[in-house]
Amino acid sequence: SANPLDAAAAAAELKPLLVNPEGSGSGGDEPVVFGLLRGEWEQLVDELQVGLSKNVEECVEFAPDGGKVAVRAGPSGSSSGTPGVELRVALQALEIIDSLDYGMAKVADLMIKHVFVPAISNISVTVSVEVLEKSGSTYPASVLNIVPSEELQGYKDGSVLYSRIIDVIKFARKFICVENITWTQSFAKLTWSRISDLVITHFLSEAVPDEASKLIGFQDVIRSTTEFENTLRGMMFISPDRKDGKLTQFVDDVEVHFAVRKRNEILVKARYILVQYDYKNPLASDDHGDSVVDLLFQPEKCFISKSALQLMKLVHGALKDACLSSARVAKEFCYAARDALLLYKAIVPVQLEKQLNSISPVAAIIHNDFYHLSQEILGLAFEYRADFPSGQQKLVVFVDLAPIFSQMADGILRRQIQLAAANLSEAIDGADGFQNTHQSQHCESAKFSIEQVVFILEKIHIMWESVLPRSIYRRSMFHVLGPVFSRITKDMLLIDDMAAEETLQVIIFCLKGLS
């Protein structure tokens, strides 16, 4: 049809008759004529919406490099070779056949790409609109430009950015949607979600304060954002029931966004501390004394790694900030403190697996770290709970972590004792039961065995005494020495008979070695 409005009206009139017509079945009882007519109707509608959509696209031209759009009241030429119709007529016809969103989809996508992206992502730009008069057979055109500007240095409260977006929307409403409310709402439905995401990405997320003291200054951003969405509601661009208030929702939850950012920062710092710390020779540092700490629930001291010291400093800082924050922010700070502690458990034993599976001073220090952290964890609730916001005092707990760290400490120490016992047992095996020590070969074997035992014990003594808490060191040495003396005594008692000189020789070895 030469008149798309007549064709669209005809298609709309036929729709209730051909699409699920009253009285017709959905199976084989449907008259054949309905199927034939429905096929022709569907073909007509498809041709109409494709042709009209192409017509709309030809009325809106975009600069390839973005930042510029020209809208004409009618197409300057038709790519199909048939004469086009005015933009207003094409949109009206699309509305009649319920294909308005289909017809505007391509234009909406290009508006986002070529206009809204540069308008929102670039700080220093301005929006200008130029209306060109009709020239000859050409339809009048309206041109919107996004041009660079040196005057604007930042978004600050966002009012400049929001004013710029409103100018673009007003242009689209006036020249693309021809001031039609229904067409404007269709354009909004196709663009608003992406506009909101661009604003959040390029402005609001970067405006979230870095420090709690700056949260008050964010009130200006909240105010301008609320005014922006209220303006769009007044323009009927977004729904009045606030369900489209994506930006307002974001700024209302700014405390949570702030807290999430701080939580991530804390965890990044904790991971850096744990991964970067050099455990190869922790006892050789110049500030060795700083690593000797008091145990919270024991009248003793122990040596811990710098990573554990820095980690607890980070945890205490997070909990102090929690005490000065609202309930929602405090919750995130407390979870960050918990997660930072759990990072130690997740990273260090894996990173130092080789050292933990051998007798080493590093293993003793890691034991101390876990032991110290378990006691510090028990004290956190007593130290901070009274100062937490009232909503978090009963919800945030740390005591459940203490047994986990205590068990890790016990497991590491138990493994060290087992390794020491295995090495000592292997050394004692070299004496071959301390038999026939009056013979030169057996005498040397027994002597070497005792020397090996003494060497291992001296090594363990040096590694453990300066690191472990005194009570744990004594208990650990008891667990190591007990089996040594028991094994040597047992081997001697298994000897059927021993000459006087053999007995004297073994006694001399033992006294010299263990003295």
**Is residue 320 packed enough to be buried (19+ CB in 10 Å), middle (13-18) or exposed (0-12)?**
middle
Q: 267: which residues sit within 8 A by CB, 6+ positions away?
A: 336, 339, 340, 343
Q: What are phi and psi of 28, to 5 degrees?
A: -75, -5
Q: Is the pTM of this model over 0.85?
A: no
**Is residue 268 packed enough to be buried (19+ CB in 10 Å), middle (13-18) or exposed (0-12)?**
exposed
pLDDT of residue 450: 78
Q: What are phi and psi of 132, to 5 degrees?
A: -100, 135
Q: 67: which residues sit within 8 A by CB, 6+ positions away?
A: 114, 115, 118, 119, 125, 145, 146, 147
pLDDT of residue 77: 60
Count CB atoms within 10 A of the CB of residue 382: 10
Q: What CA–CA distance (Å, rounded) separates 131 from 143?
A: 6
Q: What CA–CA distance (Å, rounded) separates 395 from 90?
A: 60
Q: What CA–CA distance (Å, rounded) separates 412 from 41?
A: 79
Q: What CA–CA distance (Å, rounded) separates 473 from 465?
A: 6
Q: What CA–CA distance (Å, rounded) separates 316 from 296?
A: 15
- Return the bridge partners of 71, or none: 60, 142
Q: What CA–CA distance (Å, rounded) separates 400 from 102?
A: 57
pLDDT of residue 204: 92
Scanning 132-279, the segments in alpha helix (DSSP H) are 159-171, 181-199, 205-207, 219-234, 246-252, 254-276
Q: 513: which residues sit within 8 A by CB, 6+ positions away?
A: 450, 451, 453, 454
Rounded (10°) CA dihedral 461, 464, 468, 473: -40
Encoded tokens for 414: 């138990």
pLDDT of residue 384: 84
Q: What CA–CA distance (Å, rounded) separates 322 from 340?
A: 15
For 5-63, the pLDDT digits (tens) are: 878 787 777 676 666 555 444 455 666 666 666 677 677 788 888 888 999 999 999 98
pLDDT of residue 210: 78
Q: How many Cα atoms occupy the beta-carbon half-sphere of 473 within 13 Å?
A: 19
End-to-end CA distance of the chain: 115
Q: What are phi and psi of 286, to 5 degrees?
A: -70, -35
pLDDT of residue 440: 62
Q: What CA–CA distance (Å, rounded) separates 502 from 24?
A: 115
CB 72 within 8 A of CB 141: yes
Encoded tokens for 186: 């269709």
- Spans of all domains in the chain: 4-239, 259-405, 415-513
Closest CA to 388 of 334, 448, 464: 334
Q: What CA–CA distance (Å, rounded) separates 407 from 429?
A: 32
pLDDT of residue 200: 94
500-511 burial, b at 16+ Cβ within 10 Å, e below that, comes to eebeebbeebbe
Encoded tokens for 495: 């000897």
pLDDT of residue 23: 44
pLDDT of residue 499: 59
pLDDT of residue 183: 94
Mean pLDDT by groups of 10 residues along the chain of 515 residues: 74 67 51 67 81 90 86 70 76 89 93 93 86 67 86 76 94 93 95 95 88 78 93 91 86 84 92 85 58 75 88 92 82 91 94 89 92 90 80 77 94 92 80 59 71 85 86 88 76 62 61 53
Scanning 352-436, the segments in alpha helix (DSSP H) are 353-356, 361-384, 402-429
Q: What CA–CA distance (Å, rounded) separates 138 from 448?
A: 108
- Return the bridge partners of 148, or none: 125
**Is residue 315 packed enough to be buried (19+ CB in 10 Å), middle (13-18) or exposed (0-12)?**
buried
pLDDT of residue 434: 61
